[in-house]
Structure 1
Amino acid sequence: MTSNIDSPRRPAQPVRELPHLGTPAFAMRFTSTPRGARLARRLAGVRLDAWGLPYGTETHEAVVLITGELTVNAVRHGHVAGRDFHLLLRLVERPVPAARIEVTDTRGERVPPGPGKLLAPGLADDGRGLLLVEGIASRWGWYPRAQGPGKTVWAEYEIPGPATL
């Protein structure tokens, strides 16, 4: 599979330093399709590896899983025809270092119930994405998009010390 992410319509946004945090960040828009969600997940994995969180580690796998679930939810529940979703992945310093994943879509009327308010889907074939996020992430939530319609769903995964990477 080849993807031209450097097309004139959708320029790739390389890793950049956030001046107020001084931490690496990866931000990019993706088409609101399963392929866009898959590409977002893969590029997040590549970026984590470049930042020193290598493939095969618990942290890498957890952050990639969270990213995958949030991007798939943006496609399934936040899709608006002709609108992309946005992924922001960054490392943050809180009381402990964490990877923060933010996925923004343009559908504001379909919002998740919030942390601690999710119901198990029973025997349904789907509906477990945010339950996985809630079980793996250190914390998660959502907030309305600042400009225009939509929402941002975010999650943070605390990065353990170097001995357990």
Structure 2
Amino acid sequence: MRTGPILLALALSACGNPAPEPDQPRPSPTPAPPSSTAPTIAPLTAADLDQAQVAGELACSFTDTSDRLLMIARGDVGGRIANAVLRTDQGMARVTAPGGFNAIVHGARFTGGGLTASVAVTGPATGGGESPPMPATLTVERDGAAPLVTSGDWTCGP
């Protein structure tokens, strides 16, 4: 009986990577990195605002450093939700944040339709009056894409 080739095959197969034990977890696959293409945003127009009809008694707005309106959010004092709109490369986007107007005055995280728009106030209010602007950043993220961060002002009031 010729056992040489069989023993050689067994010896070579033993040199490979060992199979994981049945009770050991298998390594999880590495997730794909986010796309390098960040969403883009464009200024809102008067027609956009008329068409969007964002509900709420009081509003906050984000304007970039060129004083272009990029996002408007509205909510009721003591309300349960605040509504916002912004224009992205995929058209008008509606996003919401919990808590109504009071919860968004010092920044908020708005989500909806695979999009997140986060406003982070970065300093004290500048100027005077009832509704002085606060320096802030607007970070827009789409599922699986790199974020877009824009500097500007967050202004809230009547």
For normalisation by structure 2, the TM-score amounts to 0.27
Query: Looking at CA atoms only, which structure, 1 or 2, has the larger radius of gyration?
Result: 2
User: TM-score when scaled to structure 1?
Assistant: 0.26
Q: Which has the higher strand share?
A: 2
